[in-house]
């Protein structure tokens, strides 16, 4: 609530700053904007940026940092063994946070008065029952130590909230004052705004990059944690995947990796020829009218959510394959879920990737190449086969690799279409599973998050990340190399 209010105040200050800055600059030249260095709106924007950007940044950083700081200082007080009663500090901290939040809610709902909440004491009141009235359910009775810690937690958070509010408003006002002071006719507001915009853009890209780094780091640390409790050799070289939450599981990645690559291979075998031929037809043979209808139609395929493809695999492709290859005929297939089922559905999903990207690449081949070939008496298909496709090949390979990394990372289709058995087999009509599907199943259970069975998900994710990253880098490298060819 107070954060929304704070944001509104900063926004309002920004708007006021805009008006004042603009007015002040105009007044200095008696309303003649030709005597100003910049257009009046730039003076306004300058004040606006100086008011809002630092204030919002401070607010953001504070909001992220405050819980960590408060947590740490409260936690320091809980080191005493007697408080913990053989429970880990983090479990006690969970209680502390719940009680602290509960008190806040109780006060807000009027179940307790502010003073009552502050002077609460475990001897005279049943804290658990009182908080229950406010709809806050606690797992156990509140011990004095926990209550004390909760009070400390509440106090620190409250102080932090007030300090944040005051400092953010102060910073906004300071920015406003600075911007308004600057608004004189000779001030280069236009350049200042330009710099401001530039820093905003840099900030945005930094956030994007830092998030990526954060994700990778969390993967890396958890992977390291996993390898500390499970030998890396077994993970990479064992051919058995049988996790059991009771312990003694075998977590070999090979069957999963094999399933991933096998399904991806089948998907690419479907998608590459169809996509490529469609691209050739659309870019070289189709009339403008056909192209204007067919190209968007193919690209619609790319907009279908993968869960829908999964349903399609499960309900249509699987039974269809079972009828053709099942026990009634050749007997290769036992159930509807199989590598082939998932592979076909994924192949259909990838067609628009391959065709759309290849189409762009083929169109980028200069018309002069086609003219040159036709001028020598080549037919259209000779021209495509011998001139256009070789010229476009690096780009097409790039498209295929991008499609491949999509296939490797695909989850929903596999979960629904391929089955759940981790198996090393060459028969494409058998059920297998992939790295992604196993990540889902390892993390969606009730597993202890520090066990090897749960942490293996991060190692799997890391492996997958490295593989797809490698493919993407390769694809980018090839595409870039291709671009230089006609320069």
Partner 1 sequence: MYDADHNRTENRVGQTDIKISAKDVQVYYGTNHAIKDVSVDIQDKTVTAFIGPSGCGKSTFLRCINRMNDTIDIARMEGLIEIDGENIYDKRVDPVQLRAKVGMVFQKPNPFPKSIYDNVAYGPKIHGLAKNKAELDEIVETALRRGAIWDEVKDRLDAPGTGLSGGQQQRLCIARAVATEPEVLLMDEPCSALDPIATSQVEELIDELKQNYSVVIVTHSMQQAARVSQKTAFFHLGNLVEYDDTEKIFTNPQDSRTESYITGRIG
Contact positions vs partner 1 (CB under 8 A): 287-288, 366, 368-379, 382, 386-387, 390-391, 485-486
Q: At its nearest, how many Å lie between partner 1 and the CB of residue 355?
A: 22
Q: Measured from the CB atom, is 361 or 391 closer to partner 1?
A: 391
Q: At its nearest, how many Å lie between partner 1 and the CB of residue 363?
A: 16
List C-alpha distances in Å: 11 to 194, 200, 297, 400.
21, 17, 44, 48
Q: At its nearest, how many Å lie between partner 1 and the CB of residue 353?
A: 25
Q: Measured from the CB atom, is 38 or 373 closer to partner 1?
A: 373
Q: Identify the H or E element spanning 284.
A: none
Q: At its nearest, how many Å lie between partner 1 and the CB of residue 386?
A: 7
Q: Measured from the CB atom, is 72 or 288 closer to partner 1?
A: 288
Q: At its nearest, how many Å lie between partner 1 and the CB of residue 297?
A: 22
Q: At its nearest, how many Å lie between partner 1 and the CB of residue 403?
A: 24
Q: Measured from the CB atom, is 292 or 329 closer to partner 1?
A: 292
Residue with tokens 């490295």: 466
Q: What b-and-e string marks burial along 401-430, b requiring 16 or more CB atoms within 10 Å of the CB?
A: bbbbbbbbbbbbbbbbbbbeebbbeeebbb
Number of Cβ within a 10 Å radius of residue 167: 14
Phi then psi for residue 51, to 5 deg, are -75, -50
Q: Measured from the CB atom, is 90 or 287 closer to partner 1?
A: 287
Q: Decide: helix, strand or coil at residue 117.
A: helix
Query: What are the helix (H) ranges across 281-379?
Result: 288-303, 306-312, 318-325, 339-364, 367-375
Q: At its nearest, how many Å lie between partner 1 and the CB of residue 388?
A: 10
Cα torsion for 444, 448, 454, 458, to the nearest 10°? 100
Number of Cβ within a 10 Å radius of residue 469: 12
Q: Measured from the CB atom, is 8 or 376 closer to partner 1?
A: 376
- Facing residues of 242 across strands? 250
Please state, in angstroms and rounded to a whole number, the distance separating the CA atoms of residues 430 and 371: 50
Please state, in angstroms and rounded to a whole number, the distance separating the CA atoms of residues 360 and 392: 10
Q: Measured from the CB atom, is 325 or 374 closer to partner 1?
A: 374
């Amino acid at each position: 609530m107070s954060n929304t209010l704070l944001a509104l105040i900063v926004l309002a200050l920004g708007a006021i700053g805009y008006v004042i800055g603009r007015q002040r600059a105009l007044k200095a030249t008696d309303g003649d904007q030709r005597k100003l260095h910049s257009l009046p709106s730039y003076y306004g924007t300058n004040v606006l940026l100086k008011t809002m950007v630092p204030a919002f940044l401070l607010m953001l950083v504070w909001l992220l940092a405050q819980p960590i700081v408060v947590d740490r200082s409260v936690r320091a007080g809980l080191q005493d063994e007697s408080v913990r009663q053989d429970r880990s500090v983090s479990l006690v901290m969970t209680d502390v946070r719940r009680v602290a939040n509960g008190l806040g809610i109780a006060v807000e709902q009027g179940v307790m008065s502010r003073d009552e909440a502050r002077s609460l004491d475990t001897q005279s009141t049943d804290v658990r029952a009182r908080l229950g009235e406010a709809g806050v359910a606690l797992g156990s009775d509140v011990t004095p130590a926990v209550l004390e810690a909760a009070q400390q937690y509440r106090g620190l958070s409250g102080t932090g909230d007030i300090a944040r509010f005051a400092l953010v408003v102060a910073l906004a006002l300071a920015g406003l004052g600075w911007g308004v002071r600057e608004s004189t006719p000779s001030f280069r507001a236009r350049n200042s705004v330009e710099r401001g915009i530039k820093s905003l853009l840099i900030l945005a890209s930094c956030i994007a990059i830092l998030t990526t780094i954060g994700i990778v780091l969390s993967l890396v640390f958890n992977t390291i944690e996993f390898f500390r409790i499970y030998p890396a050799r077994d993970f990479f070289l064992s051919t058995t995947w049988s996790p059991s939450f009771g312990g003694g599981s075998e977590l070999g990645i090979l069957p999963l990796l094999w399933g991933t690559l096998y399904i991806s291979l089948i998907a690419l075998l479907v998608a590459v020829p169809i996509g490529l031929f469609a691209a050739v037809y659309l870019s070289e043979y189709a009339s403008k009218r056909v192209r204007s209808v067919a190209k968007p139609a193919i690209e619609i395929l790319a907009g279908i959510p993968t869960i829908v493809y999964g349903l399609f695999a499960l309900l249509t492709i699987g039974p269809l394959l079972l009828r053709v290859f099942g026990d009634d005929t050749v007997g290769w297939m036992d159930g509807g879920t199989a590598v082939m089922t998932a592979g076909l559905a994924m192949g259909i999903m990838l067609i628009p990737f391959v065709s759309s990207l290849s189409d762009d690449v083929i169109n980028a081949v200069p018309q002069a190449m086609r003219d040159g070939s036709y001028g020598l008496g080549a037919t259209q298909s000779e021209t495509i086969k011998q001139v256009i496709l070789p010229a476009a090949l690096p780009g097409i390979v790039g498209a295929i690799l991008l499609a491949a990394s999509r296939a490797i990372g695909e989850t929903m289709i596999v979960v629904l279409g391929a089955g759940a058995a981790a198996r090393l087999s060459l028969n494409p009509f058998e059920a297998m599973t992939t790295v992604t599907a196993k990540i889902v199943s390892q993390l969606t259970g009730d597993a202890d998050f520090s066990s090897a069975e749960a942490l293996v998900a991060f190692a799997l994710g890391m492996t997958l990340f490295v593989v797809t990253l490698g493919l993407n880098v390769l694809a980018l490298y090839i595409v870039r190399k291709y671009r230089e060819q006609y320069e």
